[in-house]
Amino acid sequence: MHIKLIADRKTDVQIYPLYQKEEFIYPIRDAYREAGHTVWFLSRSEEDRDILVVGLGERNRLDLETVRRAGGLSARKIQKEGLVSACLVRKADPGCCSFSSVTSSEWIQAWLEGWLLGLYGFHKYRTLFPLPVEVTLQIHPGDWPEMTENELQQVIRTAKIRAAGTVFARDLVNETPDYLHPDRMVEWIKARFKDIPVKVTVYSGEQLAERQMNGLLKVGAGSVYPPAMIELRYEGDASLPLISLVGKGITFDMGGMNVKSGKDLSDARMDMGGAAAVAGAMDILASQRAKVNVVALIAVAENVPDAHAMLPSSIVTFPNGITVQAANTDAEGRLVLADALLHAAALGAVEAIDIATLTGNVGAALGLGIAGIWGDEAMTQRLVSIGDRNGERLWPMPLMDEYESELHSDYADLSNIGSSSLAGAITAALFIRRFVTKPMKWVHIDMAGTVQYKGDAGYSASGATGYGARLLADYVLSRHCTGTLDENGKEVLL
């Protein structure tokens, strides 16, 4: 992650962000000034520099996600050409952010986040292809007169931390299941947080049984790798009310005894996208030494068939007294989230966000560019607003109380799957709601559609997006840094 603050433009290429209807040294058609477009001007001599123009559209309609995507697109274009250094050039007049709601510091941070994430690729197992070149980006302090060099260095540091947390999440999701099984995931997370102030507690075996985390125990029964509940506690300010982040960590979801089928089941390794998001968010918060009080709960298991695996129609009993008939063992995520949410309440959390690759149904409803969110209205509004700014978008979805009847079981209090083939994402959220202990406030995020891209786009390469890491970190920061919560979970303005 090489970014230099230096008064020098001697690089392989100079990058010019360009808006509609603004002058440039070379003529460029309006179509190439639109966001998502680039134009190369190649040098004619050793003294000249290649120029990459990146379109940003209309200045007065600029948003941070447009800047972030432009940064990522620039990075990938330059890396593809094998160039090793670039300088971001800001036009002095009329100014980077004039006539928009984006400040200079927000603009440069969004660009740097996009740049760093755009350079990411998961190449661990590719041996027949050369690795992409490392590209150094130079920032000229004279281009940003409204910011001191210390302020620019702080923006660079923040962007690097946020990108690193997102890359951590991407690496977890992209990793293969023969390597990233539950035991290895526990080891990886322990190693990641060893040198930063995060307390890591792992519950497994008898510890899960003592806490009646029977959802995890049942789901993971078929695997040679035992399930675990990973608890990450970061107390940047322990006097603040506790916020809990809950992630589903199924390292491979073969469906259990309701075995999945298909030509290519590789994506089943990505069923721990929620866990990766939570881990990435904790990495960001702790690395920033944020003044927050947060606990992450990661429910880790492998859902595979075996002689010891949970059988369809098995009954799972939870510590709140609710019994669940596991009518379909491929609806396992909600069972492990139930354990984690009950544990969050036991720890005293006043708010909980669970995030999971839970249903294919949410993708059918919303596509692959936006996740669904259910639950507390105020929390939802804040998260939606944050997602609009940082590019990890959310769409509020309804909790239709009348649909809860579809979770009826003749043998237990609930079935883990709805009786209808419709509204599966909603009935899943209704199921999870039954394990939220009042007065803890709660939202559920179904990110099954946003966990990966099938091709390069913006600042994401094909594969894991790292969705949720920045979203969750920004939410916690917004609750504790621009406003806080009293002992009842109500907002207190500072």
Residues with catalytic annotation?
260, 334
Cβ atoms of 391 and 64 closer than 8 Å = yes
CA angle 318, 322, 325 (to 5 degrees): 90
Q: Is the peptide bond before 141 cis (omega within 30 degrees of 0)?
A: no
Longest distance between any two alpha carbons in the chain, whole Å = 80
Backbone angles phi, psi at 90, to 5 degrees: -105, 130
3-state secondary structure the chain: CCEEECCCCCCCEEEEEECCCCCCCCCCCHHHHCCCCEEEECCCCCCCCEEEEEECCCHHHCCHHHHHHHHHHHHHHHHHCCCCEEEECCCCCCCCCCCCCCCHHHHHHHHHHHHHHHCCCCCCCCCCCCCCCCCEEEECHHHCCCCCHHHHHHHHHHHHHHHHHHHHHHHHHHCCCCCCCHHHHHHHHHHHCCCCCCEEEEEECHHHHHCCCHHHHHHHHHCCCCCEEEEEEEECCCCCCCEEEEEEEEEEECCCCCCCCCCCCHHHHHCCHHHHHHHHHHHHHHHCCCCCEEEEEEEEEEECCCCCCCCCCEEEECCCCCEEEECCCCCCHHHHHHHHHHHHHHCCCCEEEEEECCCHHHHHHHCCCCEEEEECHHHHHHHHHHHHHHCCCEEECCCCHHHHHHHCCCCCCEECCCCCCCCHHHHHHHHHHCCCCCCCEEEEEECCCCCEECCCECCECCEECCCCHHHHHHHHHHHHHCEEECCCCCEEEC
Pairing, β 228-235 against β 199-204: antiparallel
DSSP β-bridge partners for residue 139: 5, 88
